Amino acid sequence: MRETVERASAPARIAIDARILSKSTGTYARMLLKHLQEIDSYNEYTVLLRAEDLGRWKPHAPNFSVEKAEYADFSFAEQWAFWRHLRRRRFDLVHFCMQQQPILYRGAKVTTFHDLTLLRTVDTSKNPVVFRAKRLVARAAFWIALRTATQVITPSRFSAEDARRYAKLPAGRLTVTPLAAEIETTEPEARELPFREYALYVGNFFDYKNIDRLIQAHQLLRGRGSDLGLVLVGRLDAAGMRLKERSERRGDEAVEFTGFISDAERDWLYENAAVYVFPSLSEGFGLPGLEAMNYGVPVAAADATCLPEVYQDAAHYFDPTSVPAMAEAIAEVVGSEELSARLRENAAALLQTYSWRTTAELTHSVYESALRSAAGRGPA
């Protein structure tokens, strides 16, 4: 897309709800903001951030500013106080980077719909009553958010079809803007491990990530004489601690829970892994697998939801509900240099088709379409 040039009309006042900046999906918001500042020098952007992120993210373009939006997800404050905040500011367009948003807001808006994971999975690390109540609220909130959006963005065709079916949306209101995996590497810092060769997973430990089955598959390989270790990188929150304690009670061998680590250690683990395993049962895009490919790691992935669409021929697939199938796929990648080399070659070609710049350009086009659709309407 060309750089924005001077126009006869007044600049639009666009707000971007980036309250997800420090969450697992924050990469999407950070990279979108980075490239939007290069693409659009005309319209006026206000980036809405939680208090903890106000000092972490600073705009580098003069037409971008930040504003505090300390409203917890799925809270009364989000539904009432955030709604009043947006009404008072009277933006021409609001981009909600996640599904959660004030459902009463009726101004022109773009909603990024990542996936229906919260509705199709269960999180046993949460209080079951609270989780069921949250999911019930989310079911209605997601539907309203989709139905009232001027335009809807999804990261994959799979998520677009999910959104279309769930909210009965017309195709003209949906735009797929694939994500990317350009990485900012650091000087790697070696981490001492009790094994030489290992499979790697980086992410959170919610039930739908299917990490317990991954551990079982790894133990099955160990029982067959494999020396392969398993490194699980991620914060040991309630879900992580629950999984770690379960693994320890079973006496699982050669499983390393790292907890939070530095980027330098993470980069070293990526660069030295024999295989990256992504066993997730539900994803809207599957960014971690692409990030692993950027480090030259062959990927074994679940053949579930959007992953075959996103990874194409650059991953070796398995049935994520079958521990033996997962173990076999891991063994095939680790045991075959020919297969690993082919996956790396295919991944290098695949990565060239994804770009955060393209993501931002497509998103900017959606903004312009939404503004045209809302012409003559005032914010709610």
Q: What are phi and psi of 302, to 5 degrees?
A: -65, 145
Mean pLDDT of 349-356: 97
**Three-state SS sequence of the chain:** CCCCCCCCCCCCEEEEECCCCCCCCHHHHHHHHHHHHHHCCCCEEEEEECHHHCCCCCCCCCCEEEEECCCCCCCHHHHCHHHHHHHHHCCCEEEECCCCCCCCCCCCEEEECCCCHHHHCCCCCCCHHHHHHHHHHHHHHHHHHHHHCCEEEECCHHHHHHHHHHHCCCHHHEEECCCCCCCCCCCCCCCCCCCCCEEEEECCCCHHHCHHHHHHHHHHHHHCCCCCEEEEECCCCHHHHHHHHHHHHHCCCCEEEEECCCHHHHHHHHHHCCEEEECCCCCCCCHHHHHHHHCCCCEEEECCCCHHHHHHHHEEEECCCCHHHHHHHHHHHHHCHHHHHHHHHHHHHHHCCCCHHHHHHHHHHHHHHHHHHCCCCCCC
What are the tokens at 342? 């082919």
Residue identified by tokens 């950070």 is 30
With cut-offs at 50, 70 and 90, classify the pLDDT of residue 61.
Answer: very high
Measure the CA–CA gap between 337 and 193, rounded to whole angstroms: 23
With cut-offs at 50, 70 and 90, classify the pLDDT of residue 378.
Answer: very low
Measure the CA–CA gap between 298 and 200, rounded to whole angstroms: 10
Q: Is the dihedral of CA 319, 321, 323, 326 positive or negative?
A: positive
pTM flag (> 0.75): yes
Q: What is the average pLDDT value for the chain, to the nearest integer?
A: 93
Q: Is the pLDDT assigned to residue 278 strictly greater than 60? A: yes
Q: Nearest-CA neighbor of 340 among 353, 331, 349, 351?
A: 331
What are the tokens at 72? 């917890």
pLDDT in tens, 108-159: 999 999 999 988 888 787 778 888 888 888 899 999 999 999 999 999 999 9
Mean pLDDT of 212-227: 98
The structural domains of the chain, ordered by start, are 13-180+355-373 (3.40.50.2000), 198-351 (3.40.50.2000)
With cut-offs at 50, 70 and 90, classify the pLDDT of residue 98.
Answer: very high
**What percent of the chain is modeled with pLDDT above 70?**
96
Q: What is the pLDDT of residue 5?
A: 42
pLDDT in tens, 35-52: 999 999 999 999 999 999
Q: Is the pLDDT assigned to residue 103 strictly greater than 60? A: yes
Q: What is the pLDDT of residue 7?
A: 54
Mean pLDDT of 100-109: 94
Which of 70-84, 179-193, 227-241, 254-268 is least confident?
179-193
